[in-house]
């Protein structure tokens, strides 16, 4: 909640009913401080339908839609609906079984598997959550990369390219030199930051200097990065010796992000970096003069210019910082436990660049929000593969669920009208309108 | 059509914007709603227009109570509204804009442009609202765009027309034209609710006046009442309408502008060889119809626009090549003419807006880090000092009323020691109470020795504040005259005409102390500009 940019720096307690925009995103609704009473506060929150509640309801709705799709995609269950009027119980119960099995599997794969308490080792208990965090790590970096640009008024679609650039730089430093422990890793991380930062800086520069639209430029830079990566992996500098396949060289041992809890859990040092990055982002937005300028430029460039700020500088810096964040995602992709050989591959970005946009959107471009949204998506990714394996439901359902969440989050009035929350009629996003109404538009 | 509002109350949370307001609008009258910024006028009209639901009270049309849930309901009942900010599609023609939303179609959904055009032309004839139906709206001046808005209401058969601060964006001539149109509408049986805080206009055009203060009707007044009476009724205390100031005590030349030329995007000179000298402790008013280079001149001084030629120096230092931030930090205060566009960041809190151009400087910022305590303290102080009406200092500035937004900008720019203060339209959209206060602050700034430039299209304001008035026309300074110059002459100058006068005294009081202690050099340039021979014949 502290990341709420509406509060001037230094107002961490934000329980007053000021008509600020969204506070926390997903799941945070329960943590709404209990001023009158927890129940009352929650009820109020649901009735007024603020953004946190809407986000939460969007997730619930998406899971419902996912369930319906599972039923529609399962021929056996569908067949039972042919006899629905003869034996309605059967169709409903097997539908329920199907959906609940799937979501149970997803839960077991992403949060905790209750069975592991009785028969598994201590690692088995923590494995699902470790998987969730591991999947979330690059998404946090990516989400922050999109968020920070967004706050400056730039739509950074280029996380994919920036991740690739960061990964290429990091991988290269990882195998081309052999340095002592810690030092090598520091250089690898710096290389990723520089690679991503420079690559995004191109888009920032073109925007600031020539007014080239950043959406177009970053999309094109994505293509360039993908194809460039493909070409690099054919060169002797990058391609692993004696192989025709486009696989990069292995990184040295010291260049790798260490696992936090041994070899059996994949959770790695990247999550520490990611939380650190989120913290830096929070500081940047709320406590730094640079962040103040970035937000001002993002919100009203004319006023920012009149107040003596350089819009061009802000745009370039925002893109460079965004790229640096995305570059860290690249480091995580190459140098972490998710990539056992620590090599470059043609699909090193693993779609994170685009999920990052949805993560940022779901997290409403706030630091904590982005982290929570990334964890949710990480859980869906981690749980999805278990669901596929044990409940025999296609992992693609996860993608549908993600998409539906975003769809609902992007249309708060729709969610409000489904749940008949107040404010649905007025349309428009809760924040600005609510804020306007409280003071009244007068002049 | 007779319109009655009975006991309208509108609450936003704990804030009561309208408190049991009763209002009756008779057919064929111009009913003026007078009130300060934030008094609740616009809220009331938004209730009437179906944009807000009243918390209590009812709207009665011709004796029947009506409920307006949307603007559509209000339109159906014969109510039309012209908003302060126009709701037009810039790339559509006048006719297209007027018909937007209920287009005339022929079979198969073909747009019947000819009929639309004819309809517009009929209305134009009927009410003398001269406007070409085929022009693109984006090519029209503001006054004509407003007419398009009025046409839009009329074509939907509005019998009651709400005009929300219609004159805020108009030049004096355009205002006159609007009044003419309003009278024509009245003559044809329409009623007009005219929202404003400008006393002169009220007296000029209203049949009846209802004054609102802090959400309540505090009285009705006759247009024959004096401005003073109206002002004190509106503000709730006696108000001084004249700016109280002593004679200027001009000192050294502080700002020198020599031969300044600024080009626009097309290479046209928007500021054309301007020479100006500004002394310590004087207020130079720049008068002129909007768009004659005043904004570009101030932007050039601020470093926001690179001059094509000429020199600007402040205290002897050339400002060329300095960034706006350097210029601001060196002690130049600037109130931009369009506050929403250039003055405040609407999403930012009031506190943040109050340090918008100072955030990198102590005590607010140090080594890249913001000191939130200092920002808050500053905000509390300014809010108190300038009587900025806001719920909290953490409220987004965009939620404040226009006049209070303006106070935020003025408070910010006057909150540090200045070497030069430039204010464009310092009281645009500001009510008399706040205007009095802002004027007092500007004069106080002059009295501590700061050279001040006031750019305003309101002649009243320029005349009241300025020690000298420079009139701009097509990018040039036509003349520099004392504030005692007659309105007629100022009006002529604003149209680029040099009024005929005794050639023996070209501009004697142009520099009040020309005869005094100053070296003779600066006066010469001003006078050369003033001679008719130099005037651009075009």
Instruction: Count the neighbouring beta carbons within 10 Å of the beta carbon of residue B242.
Output: 8
CB contact under 8 A, A440 and B84: no
* pLDDT for the residue numbered A359: 93
Q: Residues near A432 by Cβ (< 8 Å), separated by ≥ 6?
A: A21, B398
* pLDDT for the residue numbered A374: 96
Find the CB nearest A438 among B15, B346, B371. Answer: B15
Q: From residue A98, how far is each of A103, A398, B415 by CA, in Å?
A: 9, 15, 67
Q: What is the mean pLDDT of residues A266-276?
A: 96
Which residues in chain A touch residue B393, judged by CB atoms under 8 angstroms apart?
8
CA–CA gap between residue A379 and residue A377 (Å, rounded): 5
In percent, how much of chain A has pLDDT > 90? 60
Check if B348 contacts A (Cβ < 8 Å): yes
* pLDDT for the residue numbered A44: 56
State in Å, rounded, how far the first CA of chain B is from the last one: 50
Phi-psi domain of B496 (left: phi exceeds 0; alpha: psi -120 through 50; beta: other): left
Residue of B nearest to A309 (CA): B325
- Mean pLDDT of all residues in chain A? 84
CB contact under 8 A, B341 and A436: no
CB contact under 8 A, A289 and B368: yes
Helix A88-110, helix A367-391: angle, nearest 10? 120
Find the CB nearest B165 among A20, A432, A443. Answer: A443
Point out the least confidently predicted range of A388-402, B2-16, B233-247.
Answer: B233-247
Which residues in chain A touch residue B47, judged by CB atoms under 8 angstroms apart?
none
Q: What is the DSSP string of A230-288?
A: HHHTTSTTTBPTT-SS--BPPPPGGGSPPBSS-TTS--BTHHHHHHHHHHHHHHHHHHB
Highest mean pLDDT among A259-268, B133-142, B170-179, B217-226: A259-268
Q: In Å, how far is B479's CA from the nearest CA of chain A?
A: 29
Phi-psi domain of B395 (left: phi exceeds 0; alpha: psi -120 through 50; beta: other): beta
CB contact under 8 A, B399 and A10: no
Any long-range contacts for B214-223 (C-beta under 8 Å, 24+ apart)? B214/B19, B214/B39, B214/B40, B215/B16, B215/B17, B215/B18, B215/B19, B215/B21, B215/B39, B215/B40, B215/B43, B216/B19, B216/B20, B216/B21, B217/B21, B217/B22, B217/B23, B221/B34, B223/B32
* pLDDT for the residue numbered B156: 86
Q: Please, which residues bridge with residue B277 across strands? A: B256
Which residues in chain A touch residue B409, judged by CB atoms under 8 angstroms apart?
none
On the question of pLDDT at B135 being above 80, the answer is yes
Substitution target in A21, A44, A423, A439 with the highest count of B β-carbons within 10 Å is: A439
- Phi then psi for residue B287, to 5 deg, are -100, 160
Residue of A nearest to B350 (CA): A8
* pLDDT for the residue numbered A11: 39
* pLDDT for the residue numbered A42: 55
CB contact under 8 A, A20 and B396: yes
Residues A18 and B391 sit within 8 Å (Cβ to Cβ): yes
CA–CA gap between residue A31 and residue A1 (Å, rounded): 10
**Cβ-count burial B133-147 (b if 16+ within 10 Å, e if not):** beeebeebeebbbbb
* Angle at B464 (CA atoms; ends B459, B468), nearest 5 degrees: 85
Query: Which residues 5-44 in chain A show a CB within 8 A of chain B?
Result: 6-11, 16-20
* pLDDT for the residue numbered A6: 41
ipTM for this model: 0.78
* pLDDT for the residue numbered A422: 59
Check if A433 contacts B (Cβ < 8 Å): no
* pLDDT for the residue numbered B348: 94
On the question of pLDDT at A28 being above 70, the answer is no
Q: Among residues A102, A104, A47, which one has the least CA distance to residue A77?
A: A102
Residues B189 and B163 sit within 8 Å (Cβ to Cβ): no
Q: Please, which residues bridge with residue B318 across strands? A: B313
CB contact under 8 A, B370 and A437: no
Residue of A nearest to B365 (CA): A289
Check if B373 contacts A (Cβ < 8 Å): yes
Q: In Å, how far is B43's CA from the nearest CA of chain A?
A: 6
CA–CA gap between residue B288 and residue A204 (Å, rounded): 40
CB contact under 8 A, A7 and B349: yes
* pLDDT for the residue numbered A421: 67
In percent, how much of chain B has pLDDT > 90? 36
B435-489, pLDDT tens digit by residue?
888 999 999 999 999 999 999 877 888 998 999 999 998 899 999 999 998 888 8
Point out the least confidently predicted range of A183-192, A232-241, B171-180.
Answer: B171-180
Point out the least confidently predicted range of B47-51, B113-117, B378-382.
Answer: B113-117
CB contact under 8 A, A289 and B403: no
Q: In Å, how far is B397's CA from the nearest CA of chain A?
A: 10
Which residues in chain A touch residue B21, judged by CB atoms under 8 angstroms apart?
none
Query: Which residues 76-105 in chain B show a CB within 8 A of chain A?
Result: 84
Residues A359 and A374 sit within 8 Å (Cβ to Cβ): yes
Where does B49-93 have alpha helices with state H? Answer: 71-76
Check if A115 contacts B (Cβ < 8 Å): no
Query: Which residues 20-59 in chain B show a CB within 8 A of chain A?
Result: 37-43, 46, 52
Query: Which residues 285-324 in chain B show a CB within 8 A of chain A?
Result: 302, 304, 323-324
Which residues in chain B touch residue A10, judged by CB atoms under 8 angstroms apart?
372-373, 375-376
Check if B431 contacts A (Cβ < 8 Å): no
Find the CB nearest A439 among B12, B343, B393. Answer: B12
B296-338, pLDDT tens digit by residue?
999 999 999 999 999 999 998 998 889 999 999 999 999 998 8
* pLDDT for the residue numbered A21: 38
- Structure-token pair, residue B71: 């603007």
Q: What is the DSSP string of B365-409?
A: EETTEE-HHHHHHHHHHHHHHHT---S-TTSBGGGS-HHHHHHHH
Residue of A nearest to B394 (CA): A7
Does the CA dihedral A299-A203-A215-A213 come out positive or negative? positive
Residues B415 and B445 sit within 8 Å (Cβ to Cβ): no
Which residues in chain A touch residue B379, judged by CB atoms under 8 angstroms apart?
8
Q: What is the mean pLDDT of residues A237-245?
A: 85
Residues B9 and B20 sit within 8 Å (Cβ to Cβ): yes
On the question of pLDDT at A440 being above 60, the answer is no
CA–CA gap between residue A301 and residue B329 (Å, rounded): 19
* Angle at B189 (CA atoms; ends B186, B191), nearest 5 degrees: 60
- Mean pLDDT of all residues in chain B? 85
Find the CB nearest B376 among A8, A288, A441. Answer: A8
> How many Cβ contacts (< 8 angstroms) between chains A and B?
160
Residues A347 and A333 sit within 8 Å (Cβ to Cβ): no
* Angle at B295 (CA atoms; ends B294, B298), nearest 5 degrees: 90
* Angle at A380 (CA atoms; ends A375, A382), nearest 5 degrees: 90
Q: Residues near A321 by Cβ (< 8 Å), separated by ≥ 6?
A: A148, A197, A284
Greatest Cα-to-Cα distance within chain A, rounded to the nearest angstrom: 75
Find the CB nearest B370 among A7, A9, A437. Answer: A9
* pLDDT for the residue numbered B494: 85
B47-68, pLDDT tens digit by residue?
888 888 888 899 998 888 988 8
Kindly calculate the radius of gyration of chain A based on its CA atoms and give it in whole angstroms. 23
- Say whether A220 sits in a helix, a strand or coil: helix
CB contact under 8 A, B323 and A299: no
CB contact under 8 A, A309 and B43: no
Substitution target in A282, A309, A441 with the highest count of B β-carbons within 10 Å is: A441
Q: In Å, how far is A297's CA from the nearest CA of chain B?
A: 9
A333-377, pLDDT tens digit by residue?
999 999 998 999 999 999 999 999 999 988 889 999 999 999 999
Find the CB nearest B37 among A292, A296, A442. Answer: A442
CA–CA gap between residue B344 and residue A299 (Å, rounded): 10
- Say whether B75 sits in a helix, a strand or coil: helix
Query: Which residues 387-416 in chain B show a CB within 8 A of chain A?
Result: 390-396, 398-403
pLDDT band at B508 (very low <50, low <70, confident <90, very high): very low
pLDDT band at A43 (very low <50, low <70, confident <90, very high): low
Q: Residues near B58 by Cβ (< 8 Å), separated by ≥ 6?
A: B5, B6, B7, B8, B65, B66, B67
On the question of pLDDT at A432 being above 80, the answer is no
CA–CA gap between residue A124 and residue A272 (Å, rounded): 22
Check if B16 contacts A (Cβ < 8 Å): no
**Cβ-count burial B511-522 (b if 16+ within 10 Å, e if not):** bbbbeeebeeeb
Residue of B nearest to A12 (CA): B372
Instruction: Count the neighbouring beta carbons within 10 Å of the beta carbon of residue A115.
Output: 11
- Say whether B314 sits in a helix, a strand or coil: strand
CA–CA gap between residue A190 and residue B499 (Å, rounded): 71
pLDDT band at A16 (very low <50, low <70, confident <90, very high): very low
Q: Please, which residues bridge with residue B261 across strands? A: B309
- Say whether A86 sits in a helix, a strand or coil: coil
Point out the least confidently predicted range of A27-36, A70-79, B137-146.
Answer: A27-36
Q: What is the mean pLDDT of residues A50-59?
A: 81
Point out the least confidently predicted range of A380-384, B128-132, B354-358.
Answer: B128-132
* pLDDT for the residue numbered B207: 93
Residues A254 and A360 sit within 8 Å (Cβ to Cβ): no
Phi-psi domain of A321 (left: phi exceeds 0; alpha: psi -120 through 50; beta: other): alpha
């Amino acid at each position: 909640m502290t990341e709420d940019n509406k509060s001037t720096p230094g107002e961490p307690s934000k329980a007053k009913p000021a008509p600020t925009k969204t506070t926390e995103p997903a799941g945070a609704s329960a943590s709404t401080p209990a001023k009158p009473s927890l129940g009352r506060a929650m009820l109020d929150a649901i009735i007024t339908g603020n953004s946190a509640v809407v986000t939460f309801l969007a997730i619930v709705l998406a899971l419902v839609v996912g369930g319906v799709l599972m039923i529609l995609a399962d021929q056996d269950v569908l067949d039972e609906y042919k006899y629905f009027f003869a034996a309605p119980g059967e169709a409903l119960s097997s539908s329920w079984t199907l959906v609940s099995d799937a979501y149970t599997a997803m839960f077991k794969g992403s949060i905790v598997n209750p069975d592991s308490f009785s028969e598994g080792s201590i690692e088995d208990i923590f494995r699902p959550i470790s998987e969730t965090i591991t999947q979330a790590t690059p998404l946090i970096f990516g989400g922050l990369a999109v968020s920070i640009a967004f706050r400056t008024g730039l739509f950074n679609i280029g996380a994919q390219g920036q991740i690739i650039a960061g990964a290429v730089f990091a991988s290269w430093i990882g195998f081309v030199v052999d340095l002592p422990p810690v030092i090598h890793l520091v250089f690898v991380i710096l290389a990723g930051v520089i690679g991503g930062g420079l690559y995004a800086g191109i888009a920032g520069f073109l925007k600031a200097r020539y007014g080239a639209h950043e959406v177009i430029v970053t999309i094109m830079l994505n293509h360039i990065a993908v194809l460039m990566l493909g070409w690099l992996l054919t060169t002797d500098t990058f391609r692993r010796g004696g192989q025709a396949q486009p696989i990069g060289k292995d990184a040295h041992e010291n260049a790798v992000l260490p696992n936090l809890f041994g070899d059996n859990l994949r959770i790695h040092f990247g999550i520490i970096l990611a939380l650190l990055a989120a913290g830096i982002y929070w500081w940047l937005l709320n406590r730094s003069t640079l962040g103040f300028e970035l937000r001002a430029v993002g919100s009203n460039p004319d006023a920012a210019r009149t107040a003596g700020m350089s819009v061009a500088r802000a745009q370039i810096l925002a893109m460079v910082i965004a790229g640096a964040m995305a570059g860290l995602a690249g480091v995580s992709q190459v140098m972490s436990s998710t990539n056992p050989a620590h090599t470059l591959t043609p699909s090193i970005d693993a779609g994170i660049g685009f999920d990052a946009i949805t993560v940022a959107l779901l997290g409403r471009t706030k630091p904590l929000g982005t982290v929570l949204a990334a964890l949710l998506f990480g859980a869906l990714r981690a749980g999805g593969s278990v669901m596929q394996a044990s409940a025999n439901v296609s992992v693609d359902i996860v993608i549908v669920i993600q998409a539906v969440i975003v769809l609902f989050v992007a249309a708060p009035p729709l969610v409000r009208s489904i749940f008949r929350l107040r404010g649905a009629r007025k349309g428009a996003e809760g924040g600005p309108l609510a804020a306007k109404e409280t003071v009244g538009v007068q002049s | 059509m007779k319109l009655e509002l009975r006991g309208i109350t509108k609450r936003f949370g704990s804030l009561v914007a309208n408190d049991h307001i009763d209002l009756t609008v008779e057919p064929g009258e111009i009913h003026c709603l007078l009130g300060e910024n934030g008094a609740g006028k616009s809220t009331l009209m938004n209730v009437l227009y179906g944009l807000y639901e009243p918390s209590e009270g009812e709207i009665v049309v011709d004796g029947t109570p009506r409920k307006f849930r949307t603007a559509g309901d209000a339109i159906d009942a014969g109510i039309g509204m012209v908003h302060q900010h126009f709701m037009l599609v810039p790339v559509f023609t006048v006719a297209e804009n007027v018909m937007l939303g209920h287009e005339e179609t022929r079979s198969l959904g073909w747009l019947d442009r000819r009929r639309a055009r004819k309809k517009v032309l009929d209305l134009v004839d009927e009410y003398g609202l001269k406007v070409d139906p085929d022009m693109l709206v984006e090519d029209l001046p503001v006054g004509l765009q407003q007419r398009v808005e009025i046409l839009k209401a009329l074509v939907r058969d509005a019998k009651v027309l709400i005009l929300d601060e219609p004159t805020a964006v108009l030049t004096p001539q355009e205002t006159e034209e609007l009044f003419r149109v309003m009278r024509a509408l009245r003559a044809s049986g329409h009623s007009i609710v005219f929202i404003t805080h400008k006393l002169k206009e009220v007296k000029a055009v209203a049949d009846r006046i209802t004054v609102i203060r802090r959400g309540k009707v505090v009285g009705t007044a006759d247009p024959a009442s004096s401005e003073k009476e109206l002002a004190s009724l509106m503000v709730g205390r006696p108000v001084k309408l004249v700016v109280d100031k002593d004679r200027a005590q001009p000192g050294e030349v502080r700002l020198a502008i020599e031969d300044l030329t600024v080009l626009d995007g097309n290479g046209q000179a928007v500021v054309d060889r301007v020479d100006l000298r500004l002394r310590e402790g004087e207020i130079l008013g720049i008068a002129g119809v909007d768009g004659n280079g005043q904004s570009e001149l101030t932007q050039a001084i601020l470093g926001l626009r690179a001059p094509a030629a000429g020199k600007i120096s402040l205290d002897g230092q050339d400002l060329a090549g300095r960034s706006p931030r350097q210029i601001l930090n060196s002690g130049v205060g600037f109130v931009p003419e369009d506050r929403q566009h250039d003055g405040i960041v609407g999403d930012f809190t009031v506190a943040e807006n109050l340090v918008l151009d100072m955030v990198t400087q102590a005590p607010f910022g140090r080594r890249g880090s913001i000191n939130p305590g200092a920002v808050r303290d500053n905000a509390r102080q300014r809010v108190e000092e300038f009587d900025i009406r806001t719920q909290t200092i953490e409220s987004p500035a965009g939620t404040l009323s226009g006049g209070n937004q303006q106070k935020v900008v003025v408070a910010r720019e006057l909150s540090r020691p200045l070497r030069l203060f430039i204010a464009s339209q310092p009281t645009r959209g500001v009510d008399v109470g706040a205007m009095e206060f802002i004027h007092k602050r500007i004069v106080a700034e002059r009295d501590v020795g700061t050279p001040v430039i006031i750019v305003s299209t309101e002649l009243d304001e320029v005349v009241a504040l300025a020690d000298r008035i420079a009139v701009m026309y097509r990018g040039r300074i036509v003349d520099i005259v004392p504030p005692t110059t007659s309105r007629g002459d100022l009006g002529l100058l604003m149209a680029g005409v040099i009024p005929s006068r005794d050639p023996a005294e070209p501009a004697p009081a142009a520099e009040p102390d020309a005869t005094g202690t100053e070296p003779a050099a600066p006066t010469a340039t001003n006078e050369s500009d003033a001679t008719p021979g130099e005037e651009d014949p075009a």
